[in-house]
Copies of this chain bind each other. A is one copy, B any other.
Amino acid sequence: MNYIQSYYPPEDSTCFGCGYSNPQGLHVKSYWQDGEAVCRYTPGPEQTAYGRVVVYGGLLACLIDCHSVATAIAAAYAAEGRDIASLPRIAYVTGSLNVTYQAPTPLGPELALRAWVQEALPKKSLVVCELSAGGKVTVRGETMAVRAKWAA
């Protein structure tokens, strides 16, 4: 299976965070495996907070946002026993995004994100995401992903 966002239809592929057709975007790529989704991302030197040694917290929120919504989508297909390429397609949008910065995230190493659906309701899914650098979790996210009505 390719990355989750690669299955988004062209009209939803413009997202600055994860759209494959946004040339200036972050191109977040999430992969579904064993009931959760994983993502790797290496920030560039410009994506810094203070002092050029810590990653900008807003970027980390962006990564968690796009990765968590992709997780909700992939999990919904899995829960229905459907292939992610099958129709009708399933889409989610971000209802709320709660990010806790537990420690500074060092700028330099590749970052790893894991996310899973903590609670699935018919119209929304609570997705928990852990972001780590060098094996240490530095940021935790809780995203309420809302199922998009137009694609239900």
Contact = CB atoms under 8 A, between A and B. Distances in A.
Interface of A: 11-12, 14-17, 19, 22-25, 46-52, 56-59, 61-62, 65-66, 93-101
Pick from A50, A95, A101 the residue with the most CB of B within 10 Å.
Answer: A50
13 contacts: A11-B50, A12-B51, A14-B48, A15-B56, A19-B50, A24-B46, A50-B93, A57-B97, A61-B97, A95-B100, A96-B98, A97-B97, A97-B98
Which label, helix, strand, loop or mixed, suits the secondary structure of the A interface?
A: mixed
A100 B65 CA distance: 12
A22 B51 contact: no
Contacts of A57: 65, 94, 97
